[in-house]
Amino acid sequence: MQGEKAWHDLGQVVDGTLPAREAFTRANALFTVEKAPLIFRNPVTGVESASEHRCATYRADTGDQLGTVSLGYEVIQNEELCKFAEMLRDDCEMETVVVLKGGAKIAFSAKILGTDAEVVKGDVIHRRLNGYLSHDGTTSFGGMFSNVRIVCSNTLGWAMQDANKHGKQFKISHTKLGVSQIDSTLRSIDIARQTFNQEVEDYKRMAETQMDFDSYRTWLTDLYNMPSVKMDDGTLRPGQIEDSKVKWNKLRNAWAGGYGTSIDGVSDTVWGAFNAVTEVETSLRDAPESRNIATVNGYYVQQIVNKARRSAAELCTV
């Protein structure tokens, strides 16, 4: 929405913003979910019976299975997530609604009004309130404050990891009582604005700190903890980022022409270096399924991004 493409160029772009319900409708995110028994076939006798331990969730509109859950699992419908988004209309503007893994997960991002700030002129970041819901048993129903705009599974995972670290979130388990806790998020939006201001200052310090290409290479070598390389004569030389040819090619391209480099004041700065690492590590383009944030490799991605943020901040002058 607001005419802004996601970095991966996927999804539907809408000029301006939309009311929450219209955004959910356009994204086909208001389908209902039901449970169905799982049938177990005894491999010895061939007798089939309903599982006593698990059942399936499925989309009522297509019949497609979304996941397997415990028998006591209570489905929370997408309508509840939409109602949550609608409750924010006086404080937020809708940015994205995403349907992931065929509907197994639904999420939205809403920009909190009054929290837009420029790291450099033209490079605007916002504080957001993101909502999410799964139907495959992997997550609860929840909301969280973050600077991350959710556009894919990885950005959803990244936002959730950040919220877990800082505690800026609420979670509701898949029970019937759940949705009454949503009101508490509205009372804490001002707190999110205050926290946001300090984070913006940190990013501005990155943008004010110059970094040339050679320094970028040296920083990457340390960031990725490149191992020593054995030479033909048996001696070891210090590792360097160029030893990882595929990764280095992506990081070099992101530094030279990645997302945001066309904005004055981003290139040749620590802010530009941090953005390059973030773009490469969180990109899902041509990436295997294992890059999903919920996997071991996805956890590694998050660790690298967090390390890059800390390391970049340490390079900045006080």
Query: For 247-302, how does the pLDDT look when each residue is reduced to its tens digit (9 = 90+)?
Result: 999 999 999 998 788 888 899 999 999 999 988 887 644 444 443 444 435 557 77
Percent of the chain scored above 90 by pLDDT?
47
109: helix, coil or strand?
strand
b/e per residue 101-137 (b: at least 16 CB within 10 A): eebbbbbbbbbbeebebebbeebebbbbbbbbbbbbb
Residue 12 neighbours by CB distance under 10 Å = 10
Residues 138 and 67 sit within 8 Å (Cβ to Cβ)? yes
Could you tell me if 41 and 105 lie in one domain? no
Could you tell me if 110 and 187 lie in one domain? yes
Tell me how far apart the alpha carbons of residues 139 and 153 are, in angstroms, rounded to a whole number: 12
Give the residue from 198, 220, 253 where a domain finishes. Answer: 198
Q: Is residue 10 part of a domain?
A: no
Could you tell me if 165 and 215 lie in one domain? no
Q: Note the pLDDT of residue 14.
A: 55
Q: Is residue 8 part of a domain?
A: no
Percent of the chain scored above 70 by pLDDT?
80
Could you tell me if 47 and 153 lie in one domain? no
Tell me how far apart the alpha carbons of residues 314 and 304 are, in angstroms, rounded to a whole number: 15
Tell me how far apart the alpha carbons of residues 233 and 159 are, in angstroms, rounded to a whole number: 47
Domain that holds residue 41: 33-70
Could you tell me if 216 and 276 lie in one domain? yes
Q: Note the pLDDT of residue 289.
A: 43
In order along the chain (318 residues), what is the average pLDDT of each group of 10 residues? 47 68 95 95 93 94 95 90 87 92 95 82 81 92 86 88 72 69 54 65 90 95 93 92 93 90 90 90 53 48 84 84
Q: Note the pLDDT of residue 17.
A: 75
Could you tell me if 26 and 38 lie in one domain? no
Tell me how far apart the alpha carbons of residues 245 and 251 are, in angstroms, rounded to a whole number: 10
Could you tell me if 66 and 149 lie in one domain? no
Could you tell me if 94 and 167 lie in one domain? yes
Could you tell me if 65 and 175 lie in one domain? no
Give the residue from 198, 229, 264 where a domain finishes. Answer: 198
Residues 67 and 90 sit within 8 Å (Cβ to Cβ)? no
243: helix, coil or strand?
helix
**pLDDT, averaged across the chain:** 83
Could you tell me if 147 and 224 lie in one domain? no
Backbone φ and ψ of 259, nearest 5°: -60, 125
Could you tell me if 174 and 82 lie in one domain? yes
Residue 112 β-bridge partners: 92
Give the residue from 146, 172, 198 where a domain finishes. Answer: 198
Could you tell me if 93 and 152 lie in one domain? yes
